[in-house]
Amino acid sequence: MPAVMMTGAAATYRRSEPMSLSEFKYRRIAAMGRNEYGELGGICGYARVRYEERIEVRRRKRSFSEPIAMGRGYTDAYAKLNKPPTIQAIHERPRNRLQKRVLTPSVLHIPVYLFLLEYEPYPYNTKPSEFLGVHSTINSVTASALRHGAYTFSREGLLDGSEYLSPTGRIKITSQAIQHTGVAVAVPGRSRSLDGEHVRLDIPHPKSQEKIVSQSEPRETVFLALHQAPRAAICIGLFTKKSLAWGACLKDKASYARMGALVEEERSIGANNMPQASARVIGSGRHTWIVQSHGINCLS
């Protein structure tokens, strides 16, 4: 048992084991508080000791978690940055050579729509309609319709403004996407004689297989592939090249040939050196597949 020696109100303890710093401070402040303020001083002293202990614990944790810059005359507990921090870019993986290329929307071809002006004479459904022109804007195609005699909207045209009435028939405005790809078929020239023998266009001839020199067409010229029936006409497609339009005509004609409904087939070269093919469809009369060239925004 440790020996105890009392001196007045304070007591001095002699212990064989060393006393901790916090316990020593507490006993010292508690003894001083009882001397000056009684019980109230002891409570305040105890609270102060606990407060200092918490501050000491926080300071030690902060010193372990934060690096302290070493230098002469350094007094601050926080390190100072000599240079601003640099943001490292995210490392991009190199592109795999065997990876398939993905086309972005900017690389893909965006379709362009043009306006077609179609005229159908009175009485309706008695003759095939005619295509008067190709235009790039609604203002241009409307001006062309007025030039061809349009004076008011028809009953259907009151809804969307795509059909006008003229003194001799009605004029329709339709939109068609221009095509850059498709089945390309070489367009032969006009029929000519070889050694006094007439050469037909629908029969291949060994001496007539010459290299076709196509005349350069203006950039603003497009080609219509048309299917003309006895009482109506259909636009098969709008193309940038004559060979593509002619290939579309032969492809549409082949759909009738597969059914065995074509007889008396013929091929020839029409106006403006444009190819055309005709045949009689059993039970429907004679049909014609023809290519027409039109200048964009050409007011004819």
pLDDT of residue 289: 94
DSSP conformation letters of 101-116: PPPPTTTSPPP-EEEE
pTM confidence score: 0.55
Residues 143 and 26 in one domain: no
DSSP state of 274: -
Residues 49 and 139 in one domain: no
Residues 47 and 126 in one domain: no
Instruction: State which of 36, 58, 80 marks the end of a domain.
Output: 58
Q: Indicate the pairing of strand 169-179 with strand 233-239.
A: parallel
> What confidence tens digit (pLDDT) does each residue in 196-227 have?
444 445 444 444 444 433 444 445 899 999 99
Instruction: State which of 58, 76, 91 marks the end of a domain.
Output: 58
Residues 28 and 165 in one domain: no
pLDDT of residue 118: 94
CB 232 within 8 A of CB 129: yes
pLDDT of residue 19: 60
Residues 125 and 265 in one domain: yes
How far apart (Å, rounded) are the C-alpha atoms in residues 13 and 18?
A: 11
Residues 232 and 166 in one domain: yes
The identity of residue 67, as a single letter, is P
| pLDDT, average across residues 189-195 | 51
Q: Would you say residue 198 lies in a domain? A: no
Q: Would you say residue 145 lies in a domain? A: yes
Is 194 a residue whose pLDDT tops 50? no
| pLDDT, average across residues 53-57 | 86
CB 114 within 8 A of CB 136: yes
CB 171 within 8 A of CB 185: no
- Which residues are within 8 A (CB) of 1 and not within 5 positions of it... i.e. 6 or more apart? none
CB 190 within 8 A of CB 141: no
Residues 119 and 18 in one domain: no
Q: Would you say residue 223 lies in a domain? A: yes
Confidence of residue 283 (pLDDT cuts 50, 70, 90): confident
How far apart (Å, rounded) are the C-alpha atoms in residues 173 and 163?
A: 6
Q: Would you say residue 227 lies in a domain? A: yes
Residues 123 and 236 in one domain: yes
> Which of these ranges, 2-16, 25-39, 126-140, has the smallest mean pLDDT?
2-16
Q: Would you say residue 102 lies in a domain? A: no
Residues 24 and 166 in one domain: no
- Top pLDDT among 87 and 258 is at 258
Query: What residues pair up with 292 in beta bridges, in sequence order?
Result: 224
| pLDDT, average across residues 7-11 | 44
CB 140 within 8 A of CB 199: no
Residues 142 and 280 in one domain: yes
> What confidence tens digit (pLDDT) does each residue in 91-108 have?
556 556 555 555 554 444
How far apart (Å, rounded) are the C-alpha atoms in residues 130 and 120?
A: 7
Closest by Cα among 251, 249, 261 to 289 = 249
Domain count, the chain: 2
How far apart (Å, rounded) are the C-alpha atoms in residues 134 and 228?
A: 18
pLDDT of residue 99: 55
DSSP state of 73: T
- Top pLDDT among 88 and 56 is at 56
Query: How far does the chain reach from its first CA to its final CA, in angstroms?
Result: 127
- Mean pLDDT score of the chain: 74
- Which residues are within 8 A (CB) of 295 and not within 5 positions of it... i.e. 6 or more apart? 133, 134, 218, 220, 221
Residues 30 and 162 in one domain: no
Q: Would you say residue 94 lies in a domain? A: no
- Which residues are within 8 A (CB) of 69 and not within 5 positions of it... i.e. 6 or more apart? 79, 80
3-state secondary structure of 123: coil
Instruction: State which of 41, 58, 75 marks the end of a domain.
Output: 58
How far apart (Å, rounded) are the C-alpha atoms in residues 8 and 28?
A: 15
> What confidence tens digit (pLDDT) does each residue in 227-282 have?
999 999 999 999 999 999 999 999 999 888 888 788 888 888 888 889 999 999 88
Q: Would you say residue 183 lies in a domain? A: yes
Residues 46 and 142 in one domain: no
| pLDDT, average across residues 164-175 | 94
Q: Would you say residue 77 lies in a domain? A: no
pLDDT of residue 240: 92
Place of tokens 């001196």: 7
Domain that holds residue 33: 4-58
